[in-house]
Chain A
Amino acid sequence: MQNALTKVKSEEYGGELIQLVSFNLENEEYGINVLMVREIIRMLNITRVPNTPHYVEGVINLRGKVIPIISLRRKFDLMEAEYDKRTRIMVMEVVGELMGFIVDEVSEVIRISGKEIQPPPPVVSSGIEQECMAGVINQADRLLVLLDLERMFTADERRIFSSVG
């Protein structure tokens, strides 16, 4: 995992091609390094877990393993939306643990050149925490926000995560 990340960073400057999984949240497009994503599954029964932060939706049974599910909408303070047939759970390995992230829709895998990644704008108006943004990709007709979910779980947050309530 660490390798995958550092690779992206070095490639940012090297200008090599990297692959991103792009997904939608409230009509905005986001990208995540494809190497982070283990699998993408449809919504299934989520068991609520009491006394967790509001963005922890619960846990699911992923083929015999119980993994926590996080709602990215709630995490980024976006409006709640009904789950529909396009809703997906992206299962990723974040800081050594499998976790699922609920997104509105997963669209495609795109290749971009590392050169296209621009640093995030200094002021971010939406609720997305600045530290999760690894950069912005500006292609002809689309704007992609590149996320780094590992940063979302900074040491500080991880501690709170486990002791909330």
Chain B
Amino acid sequence: MSIDCEDQELLEGFLAETTELLEKLDDDLISLEKNPEDADLMNRIFRSIHTVKGASSFLGFDSLVKVTHKTEDVLNRLRKGELILNSEIMDVVLEAVDLVKTLVGDIKAGEIVERELDDTIAKLIPFLSENATEATVLAPVFASMEASAPAEGDAPSAGQGAEADRAADAGETADAGEIAGAEESPAAQPAPAAPPKPEPATSLPQRTAAAPRAGGASPPVKEPQKAAARGEDLADNSTVRVDVKRLDDLMNQVGELVLERNRMIQLHSDYQSGLDPNGFGDDFGKLSKRLNFVTSELQMQVLKMRMLPVEKVFKKFPRIVRNLARDLGKEVDLQIIGEETELDRSVVDEIGDPLIHLIRNALDHGLETPDERLGAGKSRTGTVVLSAAHEGNQIVISIKDDGRGIDPERVSRKAIEKGLITEEQLTNMGAGEILDLLFLPGFSTKDQATDLSGRGVGMDVVRTNIRKLNGIIEIKNDLGRGSEFILRLPLTLAIIQSLLVEVEREVYSIPLSSVIETMRVSKREFHMVGGQEVLKLRDSVLPLLRLQRTFGCAERSADRDTYYVVIVGVGEKRIGLVVTRLLGQQEVAIKSLGKFLANLPGIGGSTIMGDGRVALIVDPMGLVS
């Protein structure tokens, strides 16, 4: 069924607003779980759902109204204090929000698909005030749960509640799916009752509750996952909100650009009509200086408008961490620092997946279970710190956990077992290189692959993605005390500072961020060590790479005495690129080579030079590895 809406503008407005509200909602709900007493937060959540409900009923999206209405009712009861928030209610509410996201996604895609609403709604129903039977049965159950804090007292009463529930539900609806849905929620109740008082028992019932769910009622479990994936799609970045002030600034800059253009036209016509030919050079010089100034200002402005706070990515994580922690039976405190740090939208769009992966790893491999933590003399709740900050021309994002850290012994053993390296290679490796093994394709230290991570396809993909963004990833490791993954990314992908070099009359551009130094070297200083050309540089030996060979350039002047060497560094690795000539430093705009030439080794893209020719941009990381 396609969407039939008379006013397209209205629909777009609805979608934009709803998407924004829903994005915020996830975050708010998670914070609410931490601070159930926060009335402001509660009200805000209630208002968001209410707004979505109102707008969708106005536009006639009935299924959306149905779900939001029930959700609103549950929230209303929470707000009035008739229900006490526990993680069971939160799960159901989150599931409902996911469903809402899926529905909105459908509307956005222009196709309304028949979706299974009843499962989710059935889960909401037990918490509803409307439904008198459940409410009266459930209210005492919740009351008794609250009263009898010790975990032992909970199970029987909750069980009774479940029984009563089931009976009531079965009487009401003959639908088998709904019964399954209703069965499921009460079954999981004993566990969530405890979270206010974290005790060793919590993780156990939680897991036992999770197990039958995964086994028995598979459709309701899988559905929310799909919904979550859909929800992420929803938050695409096809429209931008720009601060009016920034827009005004931009307009000013453009005004100046127009002035400069007029001056240029004037200058040209003066020149053509032979007016003051002597002054032309001077005037033109001044003009190009001003133009240079205006365009760089303009460039900065536009760049700023493309900047987004990294919060856009980070706000997904509390939810992910919450779910993961529960699935893994771990207690995790996620701290987010510096979410207001801005970076280019092209980067924001790309870092989501690698970050999710790293966070999963931190939770799955890094953090220990509460018991293990207590055994190791740590607090039972593990901490994961996700932080972002600007550092010079880069943005640094770090994911730090206080878990068990990475055991180099285990890493190297695994790598040998999997045949990724030989014993011999291992003996030559330093600590840093051993950790680098994690990034090899096919590597996994987890003895048993879990659903979350450990399939061995992860870290190499993470690194590839980060490299695509011209970034690097580093590992800091403190065995027994935790590990930290640090991503260093350029602020923008659109424009970079680069060093232009000539290789046998072909011009290449090397990103300045990876250039460490350049030097002029006499041919005599090149040495051969084990078939590898090297240069003795101060105390170290630098491997050399002749770009004309790597890139297969026709050698035009075979014999020359001096060469230029550009030393590039990626992480700890250094390599010297031998070039014919250095041409200078220039800011270049990166152009993609298109999908056919996307994966060329050693070539990261292209740029257009002042004379209109295309110059290729060297990808130093591709050359180093």
Contact residue among B551, B596, B612 (Cβ-Cβ distance under 8 Å from A61): B612
Q: A48-B506, A56-B597 are in contact. List 17 more A-B contacts (CB 8 A).
A: A47-B615, A48-B553, A49-B597, A49-B603, A50-B600, A51-B600, A51-B603, A52-B597, A52-B600, A64-B591, A66-B592, A97-B596, A98-B594, A99-B596, A153-B596, A162-B599, A165-B600
Q: Kindly list chain B residues whose C-beta atoms are within 8 Å of the C-beta of A68.
A: 593-594, 596-597
- Whether, in the assembled complex, A161 has its beta carbon less than 8 Å from a beta carbon of chain B, the answer is yes
Q: In the complex, how many angstroms separate the beta carbon of A151 from the nearest chain B beta carbon?
A: 15
B115 within 8 A of A: no
Q: Which residues of B contact A51 (CB under 8 A)?
A: 551-552, 600-603
Complex CA distance for A60 and B598, rounded to whole angstroms: 15
Of B551, B591, B594, B606, most A-chain CB atoms within 10 Å: B594
Using a CB-CB cutoff of 8 Å, which residues 597-625 of chain B contact chain A? 597-603, 606, 608, 612-616
Q: B614 and A66: CB pair below 8 A?
A: yes
Within 8 A of B (CB), among A57-114: 58-61, 64-68, 97-99
Say whether A162 contacts B596, CB under 8 Å: yes
Name the one of B597, B606, B608, B613 contacting A162, with C-beta atoms under 8 angstroms: B597
Interface contact A61-B597, CB-CB below 8 Å: no
Q: Once bound together, how far apart are the Cα atoms of A64 and B606, in whole Å? A: 11
Count of A interface residues, CB-CB < 8 Å: 26
Q: Does A163 interact with chain B (Cβ within 8 Å)?
A: yes
C-alpha spacing A162/B593, complex, angstroms: 11
- Is B615 touching A66 in the complex (CB atoms < 8 A)? no
Q: Which of B542-566 contact A (CB under 8 A)?
A: 550-553
Closest 10 CB pairs of A and B: A50-B551, A47-B614, A66-B591, A162-B599, A66-B606, A61-B608, A61-B614, A59-B614, A45-B613, A97-B594
Residues of chain B at interface, number, CB under 8 A: 25
Q: Please indicate the chain B residues that have their CB under 8 angstroms from the CB of A50 in the complex.
A: 550-553, 600, 602-603, 616
Would you list 29 pairs from A and B whose C-beta atoms are within 8 A, ordered by A residue? A45-B612, A45-B614, A47-B616, A48-B553, A49-B593, A49-B597, A50-B551, A50-B600, A51-B600, A51-B603, A58-B614, A59-B597, A59-B616, A61-B612, A61-B613, A64-B591, A65-B591, A66-B591, A66-B592, A66-B594, A66-B608, A67-B594, A68-B593, A68-B596, A68-B597, A99-B594, A153-B596, A158-B596, A162-B597
Shortest C-beta distance, A47 to chain B (Å), equals 4
Asked if B600 and A66 sit within 8 Å, CB to CB, the answer is no
Is A59 a contact of B596 with CB atoms below 8 Å? no
In the assembly, what is the distance between CA of A65 and CA of B591, in Å?
7
B594 touches A165 (CB 8 A): no
Question: Which A residues lie within 8 Å of B612 (CB)?
Answer: 45, 61
A126 to B496, CA, bound (A): 47
Taking CB atoms, residues of chain A closer than 8 Å to B592 are 66
Q: Which chain A residue has the least Cβ–Cβ distance from B605?
A: A66
How long is the Cα–Cα vector from A107 to B366 in the complex, in angstroms?
Answer: 67
Shortest CB distance B159–A (Å): 57
Most buried by A among B593, B594, B595, B596: B596
Chain A contacts of B596 at CB under 8 A? 68, 97, 99, 153, 158, 161-162
On chain B, the residues within 8 Å of A162 by CB distance are 595-600
Contacting residues, chain A, for B614 (C-beta < 8 A) = 45, 47, 58-61, 66
Q: Are the CB atoms of A66 and B601 closer together than 8 Å?
A: no
With most chain A CB atoms within 10 A of its CB, the pick from B553, B597, B603, B608 is B597
Contact partner of B608 among A64, A99, A161, CB < 8 A?
A64
Within 8 A of A (CB), among B505-558: 506, 550-553
Residue of A nearest to B554 (CB): A48
Q: Which of A60, A66, A67, A97 has the most CB of B within 10 A?
A: A66
Task: List chain A residues, Cβ under 8 A from B606.
Answer: 47, 59, 66
**Distance in angstroms between the alpha carbons of A122 and B608 in the assembled complex:** 45
Complex Cα spacing A98 to B616, Å: 18
Closest CB in chain B relative to A160 CB, distance in Å: 10
